[in-house]
Chain A
Amino acid sequence: MTHLPRRCVLAGLAAGSALALSPARFAMAQSAAPIKLGFQLHRTGIGASYGRWYERTAQAALTRVNAAGGINGRPVEIVFEDDGTDPKRGAEVVDKLVSQHGCDLIFGPLFSHVVIGSAPRAGELKVPYLVCSEGYHVASGMLNRWTLQPGITDVRAQVSSMAPWVTSTLGKKVTMVFPDYAFGHDHRDFFTAAVEAQGGQIVAKIAVPPTETSFTRYFPQIPADTDVLYHVMVGPAVLTFVKELGEFYGSGARPQIFGFIDSLEAVDLAGPGLEFLEGTHFWEGHCRVKQADAPAWEGEYRAAVGVDDNGASVSDAKDVATYAHMFSVWETLSVIKQGMEAAGYQSTADRQKFVEAVEAMTGFDAGLDHVQGTKTFNGKTHQVFGQQFISKVEGGKLIRVHATAIEDGLYPDAVDYTTQSF
């Protein structure tokens, strides 16, 4: 009788048990190779404070998706590439993610110029490009059939739905302060139209050139009869802007102040010089501070992305999240999973099927997949619509005082991407 060498037996046992214990959850897949998602990340450049949190959110969402069995039974990987928040590099990154890393699709960019600069290349490569931007450029019809925005509402919907509350609650005479480039112009145009539709009036429009580093000379232009000062700023100078606004009004009388949280994303409201924000209002895409009536999944989402109840990193209370926007990354990954599973996605040959599957979606229910809230999706314009929140600074914290209805942000379709060829 021949004996099997003990080493062989042990090896066989080890291999057998490994096979038996290996995660059965991936067993259904026809291919066990991971699905590779490319992430176009603003790691450096003007969008870096967003990029840092978008990467963390994407990692957290990825962990969750993989723990739940991946997509179509296949594990999922994310390849991050820095685009420097620059459109030229953005298009190169699209190339790199697709041609070099072999990614199945690309998602994640926020800044409009990067999105608009990269979308043509995504269209040429025929790769789905799911953006987390806010500009009115997907739904306006400027881009192509491969570009979708299922994770966050656009600025047109945001400002249109804010206007009724602002005019009815804060006042009808509004002065706008906005950056003098496309993002600010979207605010100017859509908010003006929405305010006038409510019987309100824009008494002054103060456009601040993008190179400005000090804002004191703009504040005297605010008319004295202003009821509401509407401000939106982005970029490195936002903190200076808000502090100088506080110095301008001091402790004296001031109009109601309504701002877009973009002005203060990743900034601690308890910081020095920001005391005057007490009692002012902000738009928030997703409430930074965990509200008393927060749904059950809110805590789970915060724990996953490493954000405490005040909206800062659990490991560093000074590291404030870009909480009002970063949910879009989490939700976009949920849509990717739903879309790929609906399309029976197996390989890059199924990219078109994936886009068609997303176009066929009509909405998303609030829950751990869609943490910000319930949404409707317009497959023709490739744009999602959802609730917006208005919060008031009370005791240095943003407390929600109003939530809009999804319908408040709807507007007529400007494009039907489904009629375009792939």
Chain B
Amino acid sequence: MKALVLHLAVLAALAAMGFLLPPYHHGMMARVLVMAVFAIGYNIAFGYTGLLSLGHALHFCAGMMACGIAMREGVAAGPALLLGLAAGGVTALATGLLALRTAGVSFMIVTLMFAQAFHLALLYYGGFTGGDEGFPLPGAARRLFGLDLTQAGPRYAVALVLFGLVLLAQWGLVSSRFGRSLIAMRENEERSRMLGYNPFTTKLAALVISGLCAGIAGAAYGVLFGYVGASFGTTQYSILPMLYVLLGGAGTTLGPLLGAGLMAWLIDAASGLTDSPLAVIGVTLIGLVVFAPRGILGTLRQRGLKWLP
């Protein structure tokens, strides 16, 4: 019950922020919400199932590309978003089938290689994908349910609805029997196998769900902000969701949002103070690993708030 109230309160606060934030932070928050959807996907794979992937940029960018290219060819935003969702799931299924034959460090390397190969393929077929330069999505096409997504209000609303749905779905998932089997894979795969669970299919399902989230996040990012490009498929975009999740708290439902938000404002503030904002981020993360290895919400849960979802 506490958890439900907390989730609804967070969503209500985010909705209120849609009316209260000044323009720049309003736009930032819309971006953070979409990136948090990506991070929730990563959290399902890494935070709950223990799959440390370094290749989630592949699913994010596949979703963005599928959606963007479809829209460029005249498909409406709604169906294009669904294509993006599917692209994230299909790439996760395809790479998962192969990558899950490995584990640990090998799994990290294989996922990293898949993402790298995908990124280079995007550049190689630049004539079709727009390559490194990418391409803008025409404003007129960026409409969903009659909402003009080039406007700040509708854009925030769509980002919030998407985030809300994915957040509640994540909560539902991790509270379910299936969710517990994911956690069991993370905690002790051999024991889960002995209890009758199939680690391969369970982990593959987790990866596909994770890929679906990444795909819809990538597609939404393209539609909401009007640009699609291969730069979203670089390793940086595999690392980012991991950092969000580590910062906010891996295996907590609200950690991805907290991490994505904190990181966005940290980078923004640091870039005003120094020419090396990433150094500030690096120091912060080292401090986090040393003093709060479970992330912010993970540490809070460990220190007393045991009910924290």
Contacts and interface: CB of A to CB of B under 8 A. Distances in A.
Interface in A113-161: 113, 116-121, 123-124, 135, 137, 142-144
B133 A135 contact: yes
Given A44-B275, A88-B232, A124 B131 contact: no
Interface in B241-256: none
Interface in A67-102: 81-82, 84, 86-88, 91-92, 95-96, 99-100
Interface in B1-51: 22-24, 27-28, 31
Contacts, number: 102
Interface in B182-233: 225-227, 229, 231-232
Nearest to B234: A86
A116 B126 contact: no
A111 to B, nearest CB: 9
B126 A91 contact: no
Contacts of B116: 211
A121 B155 CA distance: 13
A87 B28 contact: no
Contact of B133 (A43, A84, A91, A182): A182
A325 B225 CA distance: 30
Given A86-B231, A120-B139, A143-B136, A99 B131 contact: no
A180 B120 CA distance: 10
Nearest to A136: B133
Contacts of A219: none
Contacts of A113: 132-134, 229, 231
Contacts of A95: 23-24, 27-28
Q: What secondary structure prevails in chain A residues at the interface with B?
A: helix
A185 B226 contact: no
A181 B136 CA distance: 17
A99 B229 contact: no
B123 A91 contact: no
B126 A185 contact: yes
Contacts of A16: none
A395 interface: no
B266 interface: no
A113 B227 CA distance: 10
A120 B24 contact: no
Interface in A298-318: none
B150 interface: yes
A209 interface: yes
Most chain B CB neighbours (cut-off 10 Å) among A44, A84, A88, A96: A88
A112 interface: yes
Contacts of A144: 136, 139
Interface size class of B (residues with CB under 8 A): 35 or more
Contact of A116 (B133, B150, B151): B133
Contact of B139 (A43, A99, A123, A135): A123
Contact of B227 (A43, A120, A185, A209): A120
A210 interface: yes
Contacts of B24: 95-96, 99-100
A327 to B, nearest CB: 23
Contact of A180 (B123, B136, B226, B236): B123
Contacts of A124: 139, 150-151, 226
Given A87-B231, A209-B120, A119 B136 contact: yes
B137 A120 contact: yes
B178 interface: no
Contact of A210 (B132, B136, B227): B132
Contacts of B134: 87, 113, 116-117
Contact of B225 (A121, A137, A210): A121
Nearest to B142: A120
Given A81-B271, A96-B24, A135-B133, A121 B226 contact: yes
A182 B275 contact: no
Interface of B: 22-24, 27-28, 31, 116, 120, 123-124, 126-127, 130-137, 139, 150-151, 225-227, 229, 231-232, 236, 268, 271, 275-278
Given A44-B276, A117-B227, 10 more contacts: A88-B231, A95-B27, A96-B268, A99-B22, A117-B231, A120-B227, A137-B133, A181-B123, A209-B120, A209-B123
20 contacts: A44-B276, A44-B277, A44-B278, A87-B229, A91-B227, A92-B28, A96-B24, A96-B268, A99-B22, A100-B22, A113-B133, A116-B135, A116-B229, A117-B231, A120-B227, A121-B226, A124-B226, A181-B131, A181-B133, A182-B130
Closest 9 CB pairs of A and B: A120-B226, A99-B24, A99-B23, A100-B24, A182-B133, A182-B131, A181-B132, A120-B136, A117-B227
